[in-house]
Copies of this chain bind each other. A is one copy, B any other.
Amino acid sequence: MRLADRMTIAGVGLIGGSLAAAARAAGLVGEVLGFGRTAANLEVARDRGLIDRIVTDDATAAGADLIVLAAPVTTCATLAARFAPHAAPGAVVTDVGSVKGTVVDALEASWRDPARVVGAHPIAGSEESGAAKARADLFRDRLCVLTPTARTGPEALRLVRALWEGVGARVEEMSAATHDAILARVSHVPHVLAYALVRAVADRRADGRRLLDYAGTGFRDATRIAASPAEVWRDIALANRAAIEEALGEVRIALDDLARLIAAEDGAGLEQALDAARRTRRSMDGKP
């Protein structure tokens, strides 16, 4: 099913590149244009067949039925403002960012027709980045959240829904505020914690020994997301600041609670608290 004759991907990284590859493979789009700031990455994307051609100016990039902004979230707002004067009246703009409230507001403010703006967030990232890591099956059976507003038009919403369903994702709609509250807790704060954990240990030594040399798989798993691109997470942290601060407060409470049990040497209370968390975590893997 052809959804767009031409799709522009602005930011052909892991997410943008994977969407390009998947949409092409599924025959959802005619031509795919790749726009970005790093020539070498765009060439990788073209050589891997993720995009048909590289475009380097705003006007050409904006000349598509469907424009997907897959850059760090702050850059998306900038790109929408730059593309808007060149875009056709019916062009739909969407994004893939992990923050929706402030970002969708900005897109609606700059796009000619706010009805043609649809916020989207495929929950399928990893700490990897770049077109070299993109793959057409990245979104299969993964969730993609759409955050339509009162201004979003049904036609544009249908198009973006069809795009994500067409690449294999389950699509769910919710408000941007709900999305941002959820993602602050299940993604943004865990990233902040992982970065903090690595910072607390980095360069530290005990009796001359470098602590990181003694990290096992537990530390590696717990901090894998701290290998994520700093610019992406800087933008997310700032764009979802209020929700992240609230969520950080909740984690501090949970941490203080465990610390209090440890300080009090309350073995029974501590075991109960840890076991409740263990059962919750195991339930995520379908285990009892």
Task: Give me the interface of A with B, judged by CB distance under 8 Å.
Answer: 123-127, 142-143, 145, 174-175, 178, 181-183, 185-187, 189-204, 206-207, 209, 211-212, 214-231, 233-234, 237-238, 241, 244-245, 247-248, 250-251, 253-255, 257-259, 262-263, 265, 267, 270-278, 280-285, 287
Contact = CB atoms under 8 A, between A and B. Distances in A.
Which of A181, A227, A248 has the largest count of B CB atoms less than 10 A from its CB?
Answer: A227
Given A182-B209, A185-B200, A190-B218, 5 more contacts: A178-B206, A195-B278, A196-B251, A200-B254, A212-B280
B216 A238 contact: no
Given A186-B212, A284-B220, A248 B237 contact: no
14 contacts: A123-B214, A182-B209, A182-B211, A186-B201, A190-B218, A190-B219, A196-B258, A199-B258, A199-B277, A215-B284, A234-B274, A238-B265, A241-B262, A241-B265
Contact of A228 (B190, B237, B278): B278
Nearest to A244: B262
Contacts of A285: 227
Given A258-B196, A271-B234, A219 B186 contact: yes
A103 B196 CA distance: 30
Contacts of A281: 194, 198, 223-224, 226-227
A74 to B, nearest CB: 8
Contacts of A229: 278
Report how many copies the assembly holds. Answer: 2
Contacts of A245: 259, 262-263
A26 to B, nearest CB: 22
B211 A185 contact: yes
B214 A273 contact: no
A16 B273 CA distance: 26
A165 to B, nearest CB: 18
